[in-house]
Amino acid sequence: MVSAGPASAEPPPSAWAPLRVAAYRNLWVAMLVANIGTWMQTVGAQWLLISEPGASTLVSLVQTASMLPILLLALPAGALADSFDRRHLLIAVQFFIVAVGLGLTLLTATGRMPPALLLTLTFAFGVGQALTLPAWAAVIPDLVPRNLLQSASGLGSISVNMARSVGPAVAGLLISWTGVPLVFALNTLAFAFFAFTLIRWRPGTSRSVEVPERFTAALRAGGRYVRHSPIVQRLLLRALLFLVPGSALWALLPLIANQRLGLGSGGYGVLLAALGVGAVLGGLALPWVRSRLSPNRFLLLAGLVYGLALLVIALVRDEAVVLAALVPAGLAWVTVLSNINAEVQLFLPGWVRARGLAVYQVVFAGGQALGALAWGVVADLASLVVAHLGAAVLMIAGALTVRVWPLPDLRAVERDPATHWPEVDLVDEPDPSVGPVVVILTYAVRPEQKGAFVAAMEDVRAARQRTGAMRWGLYREGESTDRFIEVYELPSWDEHLRQHGGRLTKADQAAELRALSHADGAPQVSHLLPAQAGS
């Protein structure tokens, strides 16, 4: 059901409150500069292709080339960001982006930039973005208090969309005055500034990584967490239902400017600026909207607004009317995606945050990349009008599914770490790499509590599998009427120690306590190790 009530009775924090934190403020400004450079680079790349044969597909491929690396590399990047120092990782990646930017600038300035090479270097730039995003998103909850995290997410969207307002407009003017090479050069300087700011940043306390997880084990652990988390899956589904039709507007806007409205690069920049202005307004209004509308109600309204904007762009050839439609479209875009992003950040526990956010980035980039390519092909085979009408229908239909697949209510979900399990007492301490490991828990359950116990153990199953279990089963002992056996298998002893050491949350602890309330006392626990692991 779509709730109409307010999300919270408490007054929301100011949209600007996180900027009072000096470290967050400095990095936010640096990221804003980098985002402006990114949008200038995107506009420059698209404008170089606007007169090429098959321009509709080539222009949309710029966005695909930028986003596809995120689809391919975000999960490995998330594993790296959860396993190593995120600041050092971010600094190294920014220098790689600067090197790519120098190549783009020099080759374009010397006239050696055919479409294939341009898309290849755009892809390389996207690789840098793919390695940056999970680490940056995972750093934010360490920079601001938890109660400011949603405002910080909104400010992140404001940064992106201020860049969408400023970057394209500036790029359009520079292209008309001097050409594309200067646009690429300024983008390179923007990322050099971000790298310099990261070098100057000294975190007050270093993030505890303990012993880093092995890379492949970290990848598998992140995938298991998302696979066994229905809440994360629902958030990703809602993002995808908005992104796929919504990507048509961003991917095809240069063609709307050039072919439908007869505008040049400056006019295209103005259209993008209108979208960006709406998005900035959406970021500023986000705390107010959240305090007055339930997440599902405003998700429905934002989808309908964006769908109507797509209809206007498809059917109207008047620049002023299109500009007026782009402002609420930008507002709807940022309110939906900022809210979902903040919910993902708030829900994910710290040990898997970067990997979970990487999965979100895969959905975000994949929805835009594949959507952009699909709508570009539709525009080539049919027309721009047909592509926008199709996107509008899908957007409105997706918004209406909020009654079937609503956003989960996370206000009562406790995500702080819980270390309530007792220390493991074994005869010999095995090597962390030993595996697989089987954990067996034996419960005494009265017959009248059987149904309630089995039902409560479903939440325990999900917690075990999110935090490391490869397989899980619950069995009734045939020789008695009151004994149930829980068995689960982990890939290594290290994975089990990490369950003891902070992977579980207080919500997981509450699930265990609910199951134990139907049992007689605590379970008996035993650990099975491979026979060859003995001393």
The pLDDT confidence band at residue 7, using thresholds 50, 70 and 90, is very low
In this predicted structure, the answer to whether residue 334 has a pLDDT above a threshold of 50 is: yes
- If you average pLDDT over every residue of the chain, what do you get? 83
Instruction: List, for residues 374-425, the tens digit of each pLDDT value.
Output: 888 898 888 889 999 999 999 999 999 998 998 887 766 776 777 778 777 7
- Report d(CA 187, CA 32) in Å as an integer: 12
CA–centroid distance for 286 within its chain:
18
What confidence score (pLDDT) does residue 94 get?
94
CB 228 within 8 A of CB 464: no
Q: Which tokens in the block code for residue 169?
A: 């407009």
pLDDT at position 142 over 50: yes
Side chain identity, residue 491 = P
- Name the one residue in this structure whose structure tokens are 């109207």: 316
Enumerate residues 6+ apart whose C-beta is below 8 A from 16. 151, 155
- Predicted local confidence at residue 1, as pLDDT: 39
Give residue 4's pLDDT: 39
Of 343, 290, 318, 385, the closest CA to residue 153 belongs to: 343
Least confident of 132-146, 155-169, 231-245, 285-299: 155-169
pLDDT band at 245 (very low <50, low <70, confident <90, very high): very high
* Total residues found in the chain within this entry: 535
Q: What is the number of alpha carbons within 13 Å of residue 99 lying toward its C-beta?
A: 9
CA separation (Å) from 267 to 129, 264, 272, 309?
Answer: 28, 5, 9, 19
Please state, in angstroms and rounded to a whole number, the distance separating the CA atoms of residues 454 and 445.
Answer: 10
**271-281 average pLDDT score:** 79
Residue 212: pLDDT band by 50, 70, 90 thresholds? low
Between 288 and 487, where is the model more confident?
Answer: 487
**pLDDT value of residue 487:** 95
Model pLDDT, residue 455:
94
Assigned token pair, 485? 């056996």
Per-residue pLDDT band for 429 (boundaries 50, 70, 90) equals confident
Angle, CA of 38, 223 and 414, to the nearest 5°: 90
pLDDT tens-digit map of 173-190: 888 888 888 999 999 999
Q: Is the peptide bond before 436 cis (omega within 30 degrees of 0)?
A: yes
The pair of structure tokens assigned to 400 is: 């209406």
Is the CB of residue 54 less than 8 Å from the CB of residue 179? no
What does pTM read for this prediction? 0.74
**pLDDT tens digits for 12-52?**
566 677 888 888 889 989 999 998 998 888 888 888 887 77
Residue with tokens 């579980």: 504
Burial class of residue 318, CB neighbours in 10 A (0-12, 13-18, 19+): exposed
In whole angstroms, what is the distance from residue 433 CA to residue 56 CA? 52
Helix (H, G, I), strand (E, B) or coil at 264: coil
86-107 burial code (b ≥16 CB/10 A, e <16): bbebbbebbebbbebbebbbeb
pLDDT tens-digit profile of 82-126? Answer: 777 788 889 999 999 999 999 999 998 888 888 889 999 999 998
pLDDT digits (tens, 9 = 90+) for 115-128: 889 999 999 998 99
3-state secondary structure of 518: coil
Task: Count the Cβ atoms, other than its own, within 10 Å of residue 462.
Answer: 18
- pLDDT for residue 534 is more than 60: no
252-269 pLDDT tens trace: 888 888 888 888 767 877
**Pair of tokens at residue 475:** 């069995």
Number of CB atoms found within 10 A of residue 185's CB: 20
The tens digit of pLDDT for each residue in 473-483 reads 999 988 888 89
